Amino acid sequence: MKEIMTLIRRHKVPETKKAFEDAGFPALTIQSVEGRGKQGGIGGWAAEIDPELNSVMSADLADDTKFNWIPKRLLTIVVQDDQVKDVVDVIIKANQTGHMGDGKIFVCPLKEVIRVRTGEVGREAVV
């Protein structure tokens, strides 16, 4: 089993959730997070919605007015090993704009999964 975590733009959550549901992956955890990438948070929330603003705002902002943290959403889903490519494809298709800040995808192995209610383990705990 794998845990797939993806950081995406806030306004892409509805489209991403729908894409997951349409692909047969309805179980999902969403968290509000803040962070920054290599760009150092240039552009702030406005550039989060309109990535073209990054190039304009980075030239105009003094160091003390740059936004250091950009609000994002962290989506987490647990899938079987053979489903990883499908999930990654869904995430990319729903979120890729070609602009800085589209997000990241992390795929991590899971040693064990246990359903608290029933005590089921492994595959049965996820399906």
Contact 4, 89 (CB under 8 A): no
**Given strand 70-79, what is the order of strands in its sheet?**
29-35, 70-79, 2-8, 104-109
Q: What is the spatial distance between Cα 9 and Cα 97, in angstroms, rounded to a whole number?
A: 11
Range with the poorest average pLDDT among 12-16, 19-23, 35-39, 108-112? 35-39
Instruction: Please count the other Cβ atoms lying within 10 Å of the Cβ belonging to residue 42.
Output: 22
Q: Percentage of the chain surpassing pLDDT 70?
A: 77
Q: What is the mean pLDDT of residues 40-50?
A: 62
Domain tally for the chain?
Answer: 1
How does pLDDT run across 78-95, given as a tens digit for each residue?
999 999 999 999 999 999
Task: Quote the domain boundaries for residue 7.
Answer: 2-126
Q: What is the pLDDT of residue 82?
A: 96
pTM for the model: 0.80
CATH number at 28 reads 3.30.70.120
